[in-house]
């Protein structure tokens, strides 16, 4: 069958599907639909999917999973770079305040990065074999560099000290510190 795939494309896959039961604490055996998926292009590993809604078709289950991928990636990036789920709050109110603020910060970084001139935005993208697109890591690194260069180091208290550094040393300093901050 042909299904919607990661990144908005489509993919030809083979599937085998059936129903079975899964033990759920407090409920006993519950019915599930299982699907074995084989990507005919050979670029993705074979995968099993499970759904507790046995009325869902195999195509809908696969498309639901691949459609959620951008959401899962967003949460992974927020955990890694913005500290989502690491707040030290012990109360419900603290958690309910912190999570929306971090989602807002994610959006602000994305918007700031989108506003950068293409020449500067693309200049920092980390490159390695197989990488074809910029990531949130690239975006937050570039936004940090821009803020430090044009705001923090440009303030009168820091400008004089930063101006004494050679251009190659400034570039190395920003290159090394921005990803790590």
Q: Which residues pair with 20 in a beta bridge?
A: 32
Hey, where are the domains in the chain? Answer: 2-67, 100-177
Whether pTM > 0.85 for this model: the answer is no
Q: Pseudo-torsion of CA 57, 58, 62, 63, nearest 10°?
A: -40
What residue has token string 């707040």? Answer: 87
- Band of the pLDDT at 126, cuts 50, 70, 90? low
Kindly state the average pLDDT of the residues 158-167.
Answer: 80
**DSSP single-letter state for residue 177:** H
% of the chain beyond a pLDDT of 90: 30
Query: What whole-number distance in Å separates Cα of residue 146 and Cα of residue 78?
Result: 20
Determine whether 18 is exposed, middle or buried from the number of CB atoms within 10 Å of its CB (0-12, 13-18, 19+).
exposed
β-pairing, 28-39 with 47-51? antiparallel
- Band of the pLDDT at 42, cuts 50, 70, 90? confident
Determine whether 142 is exposed, middle or buried from the number of CB atoms within 10 Å of its CB (0-12, 13-18, 19+).
buried
Query: What whole-number distance in Å separates Cα of residue 138 and Cα of residue 158?
Result: 25
pLDDT of res. 91:
79
Handedness of CA 54, 59, 60, 63 (dihedral sign): positive
Query: What whole-number distance in Å separates Cα of residue 4 and Cα of residue 64?
Result: 9
Which tens digit of pLDDT belongs to each residue from 49-106?
999 999 999 999 999 988 887 788 888 888 887 877 776 777 788 878 888 888 888 8
């Amino acid at each position: 069958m042909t299904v919607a795939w990661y990144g908005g494309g489509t993919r030809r896959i083979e599937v085998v599907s059936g129903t079975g039961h899964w033990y759920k604490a407090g409920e006993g055996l519950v019915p599930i639909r299982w699907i074995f998926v084989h990507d005919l292009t050979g670029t993705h590993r074979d995968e099993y999917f499970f759904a507790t809604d046995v009325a869902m078709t195999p195509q809908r289950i696969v498309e639901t999973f691949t459609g959620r991928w951008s959401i899962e990636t967003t949460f992974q990036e927020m955990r890694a770079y913005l500290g989502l789920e690491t707040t030290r709050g012990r109360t419900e109110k603290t958690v309910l305040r912190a999570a929306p603020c971090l989602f807002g910060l994610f959006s602000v970084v994305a918007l700031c990065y989108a506003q950068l001139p293409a020449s500067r935005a693309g200049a920092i993208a980390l490159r390695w074999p197989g990488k074809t697109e910029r990531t949130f890591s690239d975006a937050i690194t570039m936004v940090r560099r821009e803020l430090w260069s044009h705001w923090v180091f440009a303030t009168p208290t820091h400008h004089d000290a930063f101006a004494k550094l050679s251009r190659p040393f400034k570039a190395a300093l920003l290159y090394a510190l921005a990803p790590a901050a």
